[in-house]
Structures are given as C-alpha cells and as structure tokens.
Amino acid sequence: MKDPCDHYTFDLIGGVQKKPGRKPLGERAMTVAERKRRSREQRRNRLQELSVTVELSRDAQKSLDKMIEWWGVSKKEAINRALQIACQSQTGRTGMLFDLDLPPAATKKAPRKRQG
C-alpha cells in the first residue's frame, strides 16, 4: 500500500498520471513550426472559400477599368462598390432579397445648412 503522504513514488496499481495540457493530435505534441504551418494552411483554406473567380466580357472589363480610374481604388474595391450600388438600386421584390449592411457614412445624407 502506498503512503498517503508520499507524492513522489509512482503508484503501480492506481494507473498512470496524465500529463498536463491538451492532448496531442498525433502520437506526439506538434512543434511550434508544425503548429504554425497547420494554422497557415487552415487560414489559406478559409480564405479560398471566400474568393470568387469570374470571367468578364470586354465591355465589362472596360467598365471596370473606368470605375477604377474614377474612384482611384483597386479592382477588388471597385467590384465591391459596384455590387453594392447595383444592390441599392434594385426596387421591389428583387431589392428585398439582399440584406445589405453598409457603413453608416454610405447610408446617411449630408446635413443641409440652414439659410438664414
């Protein structure tokens, strides 16, 4: 029988003490480099799910180039703005299909100055 005051001697009958911390995913704990590599891979996979690849007609490409020139933004930002504007311009049932959350600056009108 093991002495209740002895905290150093291994108990052969009671089983193995568990290691503190989270259980490893494989046979051993991952190194820092392995954890980071796994983290980057998971992040890359999440970002790929959000990306969209499209083919544009020549006319659409010209229009996109004009928008980029007018607004002075990247292609991504120009497409985002164009889609938001198109969504806002819809009326009736089609417009109700989209629940668009725009930043407050884009939805508020500038206050009018009082003439006095």
Q: Which residues of the chain have pLDDT under 70?
A: 1-2, 7-17, 91-116
Check: pTM over 0.85? Answer yes or no.
Answer: no
* 50 backbone dihedrals φ, ψ, rounded to 5°: -90, -15
Sign for the pseudo-dihedral over CA of 77, 56, 91, 72: positive
Q: pLDDT digit string (tens) for 77-99?
A: 898 888 888 888 875 444 444 45
Tokens representing residue 116 in the block: 């006095």
Q: Which residue has the tokens 């996109």?
A: 64
Element (H, E) at 75: helix 75-89
